[in-house]
Structure 1
Amino acid sequence: MQKITTFLWYDDQAEAAAALYTSLFPNSRVTGVTRYGEAGPGEPGSVMTVEFELDGRPYAALNGGPEFTFTEALSLQVECDDQREVDELWAKLTADGGQEGPCGWLKDRFGLSWQITPRVLLDLIGDRDRAKSDRVMAAMLRMQKIDIQQLLDAARG
């Protein structure tokens, strides 16, 4: 059976990124580290790849150098149960140089984009009542970090 793994390219911060990410989510861990040998292209003995799991899903991070950087074209979406979870992940992922973005998006200090999305937002935007859905969408578009109470207030009109 084939296995699909998200593969992330870092300049030289793969190990630090994996450590941060695995500290944030349950059922997460580093599963392997490979190092560059004499053949390079990295410094012999330095970390080449880090394999890790986030909530049981496989990821790999490569220290590939500065040739490529992340864009918002790729993001990791995290569905959150409540405002406490939104606030905690937002604070930890924007810490130490991360950047807040619009509509629940942010970039962590490594440049990777995340969508910190309360489940209720997805439910409200998908509501069959188009007027309610539109009010919630309009409210969300004015936010950076998502505020669940403001979404619920918008839904009520």
Structure 2
Amino acid sequence: MPQKIVTNIWYEGDAEAAVDFYLTLFDDAKVTSTIPFIEDAHGTPGQAMVVNFDLAGQSFTAINGDNSAKHDHAMSLLVNCEDQAEIDRFWDAILDGGGKEIQCGWIADKWGVNWQIWSTQADRYVGGEDKEGAVRAVNAMYAMKKIDLQALKDAYEGA
């Protein structure tokens, strides 16, 4: 059975390039189907109108459109990383691929799609039981672009 809710992402004619890049980020990524433009559509016949793909078990659809839709931080793709090495790998790949650092673990890729490169380990600090420690961790996070798990832990523990 197909995934019930699928995230659709709009691109300005370069959906295939974006999907190709995303496939390099995840080991378990693949294109599942492509629907080309036809003669009477709003694109070049044969070019992909829609690219369906999976990343880490989640289904997505990339749509080649025009420039009428813009991405913003109101919607982002959150990647739960296991550790700092995985945070670094995703962050560096998106940044090296033309991305732009934002803050608090947010980064926009070359196409303007917003990602949150996060770790559930960080939840222990920014949402920890020690409320004063959590405040320190949150304040430390606000000063970060890429998440630094050790710095969050140090802030939480008052080190």
Following TM superposition, the consecutive aligned residue runs of length 4 or more in structure 1 with deviations greater than 2 angstroms are none
- Equivalent residue runs for 1:37-48 within 5 Å: 37-48=38-49
**Distance in 1 between residues matched to 2:46 and 2:110, nearest whole Å:** 25
Counterpart in the other structure of 2:151: 150
Residue 139 of structure 1 aligns to which amino acid in structure 2? Answer: A
Counterpart in the other structure of 1:133: 134
**Distance in 1 between residues matched to 2:66 and 2:95, nearest whole Å:** 23
User: How far is the alpha carbon of 1:10 from its aligned partner?
Assistant: 0.3
TM-score w.r.t. the length of structure 2 is: 0.94
User: How far is the alpha carbon of 1:96 from its aligned partner?
Assistant: 3.5
Residue 7 of structure 2 aligns to which amino acid in structure 1? Answer: T
User: How far is the alpha carbon of 1:81 from its aligned partner?
Assistant: 1.0
Q: Secondary structure at the match of 1:97?
A: coil
- Equivalent residue runs for 1:1-157 within 5 Å: 3-157=4-158
Q: Secondary structure at the match of 1:79?
A: strand
Q: Secondary structure at the match of 2:38?
A: coil
User: What stretches of structure 2 of length at least 5 have no aligned partner?
Assistant: none
Q: Deviations over 1:30-73 (max 9, x none)?
A: 10111101011111111101000011111000001111111111
Preserved CA contact (<8 Å) 1:7 1:59: yes
User: How far is the alpha carbon of 1:137 from its aligned partner?
Assistant: 0.4
Preserved CA contact (<8 Å) 1:15 1:50: yes
User: What stretches of structure 1 of length at least 5 have no aligned partner?
Assistant: none
| Percentage of pairs with the same residue | 40
Q: Count the aligned residue pairs.
A: 157
Q: Deviations over 1:88-119 (max 9, x none)?
A: 10011112421001111010001100000122
Q: Deviations over 1:9-29 (max 9, x none)?
A: 000111111111122113221
